[in-house]
Structure 1
Amino acid sequence: MEQKKNQYIFILLTVLCIMMIVLSSVKDGFMNPLRNAVGTVLVPIQSGVNYVGYKLYSRWEKHKTLLEAEAENEKLTAKIDLLTEENNILKQNDEELKRLRDLYSLDQQYLQYDKVAARVIAKDSENWFQVFRIDKGSKDGIMVDQNVMAKGGLVGIVTDVGLNYATVRSIIDDESRVSCMGIQSSDTCIVAGDLQLFEEGRLRITNMKKEAVIQDGDRIVTSNISSKFLPGILVGYAIGIEEDEKRLMKNGYLIPAADFTDLREVLVLKERKDDRFQKESKDLAE
């Protein structure tokens, strides 16, 4: 039974093949109506399928392009971040090199004094460096009353010392008083710290004799009669010198030589004024 069924199927397929051969050999004119009918039905369907396929393909391409663009953007962003970080490091290194060169230049101006370089690690005020700490202490030879310089001139004096740190009170602090003199005339004066006045970038000069010839622009340095500051250290430049109301003395202002807005490295002079007095007294006694 199964064999007969297979024979029928084979015969049917053979007949269909013969019919297809015959139809394909018939002239085109006979097949045109059928082709036109099939085309009328299939062409719109094919167009619709092509349109949908094109839209899906376009969206996929756009999505693929967007994913590629996002991936490329992430790579470029990471590269920009890396380059920015490297650029910042180079800028920091360049700034530090400039500061160290300035510090070296300052060191060369005062070769008569032995010094210790130190970094500023903290300060007591948000605005100015009137009291700050450095990363060198007693183990590095730092002692109370040692003078401190930076960025062109005198910064302050050591007031407290730990094993690996020290505290410095700067000349802009309200409690600071520095005995000074005009380098051109040798007339003496006092440079007084004043935080409120320093907001204008100035300190006060007092105790000048009426006959003093200190003038605007004169260099003001530490005097030889100072009790705690070594002589000849640049403090700043005189400005606004005039007689007081009673015309008994002269007063004025000083533009500090050091920059107190951004102290990072300083030089600590190892010699103290007291040490110099003791050495001179010993030499006289001998």
Structure 2
Amino acid sequence: MKNFFNKTGIWILAAAVVIVLTLSILSATGTGLLNNIAGTIASPFRSAGAAIGNWFGSISDKFDSVEALQKENEELRKRVAQLEDANRQAETDSQENERLRSLLNLRQQRRDFTFESAKVTQYENSNWASTLTLNRGTSSGVAVNNCVVNETGALVGVVTEVGLNWCTVATVLDTQAQFGATVFRTGESAVAMGDLELMQSGKLKLSYLSGANTPVGGDLVLTSGLGGYYPSGLVIGAVEDVRTDDSGLTQYAVVQPTVTPSSLVEVFVITAFDIVD
């Protein structure tokens, strides 16, 4: 028993010394045992937490970058749209200026004409008609049988119906439209008129050719002004080819008009002109 206590005492004493020394060391470093153990255990978690925090931070930065890019992209799109609008407006203004310059030249070239400008409000094209509706009528001096031209003086058609502030124009393609015409190269007189068959292809007919001076492709066709109903010298179009009618006795020419009615925005009504004998 004495030996037991001696051995046990030695081990207890040794353990006590170790504990005291350990506590002394921990006390000297300012860190408690439990705190030290907890810190050791928590250290990996703190590292992981820091890494996760950094990852979320980088994701947040990326989201901020994406939002900034989206905002910049939206601003660029708005700017492009504004530039496109400005370009369209500039193109429209340029076309308007070109029309006005052409009209000024036309007024200077044809001082025997009195013009009334008009906007095209409607275009109708069917199997039997090709007409325009304009925003000018009797209040502007427009009357039935007034000729209508574009800004270069090419014939558009003739007024067939008129109201106070509107009128209807039968274009050169319409079957109601007939004009005394002349072939500029040969001086031959004929009649330019709409034709149901040719109207579908955007062309008209030059009838009553004498046969003495047959027109050829490319010949210019103008209004003759004979009878004083319509002004002379208005460009109708150009001869495309010459054909023989179904009877085989007479010829007629197919004419491609200078004006395309469906593309017209503004036209000019000739409300008065000097008759040239």
TM-score (norm 2): 0.77
What SS does the corresponding residue of 1:97 show, helix, strand or coil? helix
What SS does the corresponding residue of 1:144 show, helix, strand or coil? coil
Equivalent pairs counted in the alignment come to: 252
Q: How does 1:1-286 map to 2 (within 5 A)?
A: 23-24=28-29, 40-125=40-125, 130-152=130-152, 153-194=154-195, 196-226=197-227, 228-244=229-245, 248-271=249-272
110 and 63 in structure 1: CA distance in 2 versus 1, 3 angstrom threshold: same
Residue aligning to 1:14: none
Amino acid at match of 1:219: L
Structure 2: which 5+ runs fail to align? 1-23
Give the whole-Å Cα distance in 1 for the aligned partners of 2:127 and 2:255: 20
Q: Would you say the 8 A contact 1:243–1:249 is kept in 2?
A: yes
In angstroms, what is the RMSD of aligned CA positions?
3.3
Q: Would you say the 8 A contact 2:113–2:273 is kept in 1?
A: no
Q: Would you say the 8 A contact 2:243–2:254 is kept in 1?
A: no
Instruction: List per-residue Cα deviations over 1:41-99 (Å, max 9, x = no partner).
Output: 34312221112111221222122222222322332222222222222211221222223
196 and 53 in structure 1: CA distance in 2 versus 1, 3 angstrom threshold: farther
Q: Would you say the 8 A contact 1:129–1:263 is kept in 2?
A: no
Instruction: List per-residue Cα deviations over 1:193-241 (Å, max 9, x = no partner).
Output: 1354244342112111122343322221112325632222221112312
What SS does the corresponding residue of 2:45 show, helix, strand or coil? helix
Kindly state the Cα deviation for residue 37 of structure 1 after the two structures are TM-superposed. 6.3
Instruction: List per-residue Cα deviations over 1:123-170 (Å, max 9, x = no partner).
Output: 233899921122222222111111111154111111222222222111
* Over 6 Å off, 4+ runs: 33-39, 126-129
Give the whole-Å Cα distance in 2 for the aligned partners of 1:191 and 1:126: 20
Of 114-123 and 94-103, more deviation after overlay is shown by 94-103
20 and 226 in structure 1: CA distance in 2 versus 1, 3 angstrom threshold: farther
What SS does the corresponding residue of 1:254 show, helix, strand or coil? strand
TM-score (norm 1): 0.75
Give the whole-Å Cα distance in 1 for the aligned partners of 2:127 and 2:248: 36
Residue aligning to 1:10: none
Q: Would you say the 8 A contact 1:238–1:253 is kept in 2?
A: yes
Q: Would you say the 8 A contact 1:215–1:238 is kept in 2?
A: yes
Percent identity, aligned pairs only, is: 25
Amino acid at match of 1:45: F
Q: Would you say the 8 A contact 1:216–1:239 is kept in 2?
A: yes
Residue aligning to 1:4: none
Amino acid at match of 2:119: R
Give the whole-Å Cα distance in 2 for the aligned partners of 1:129 and 1:94: 32
Structure 1: which 5+ runs fail to align? 1-18, 26-30, 281-286
Q: Would you say the 8 A contact 1:210–1:243 is kept in 2?
A: no
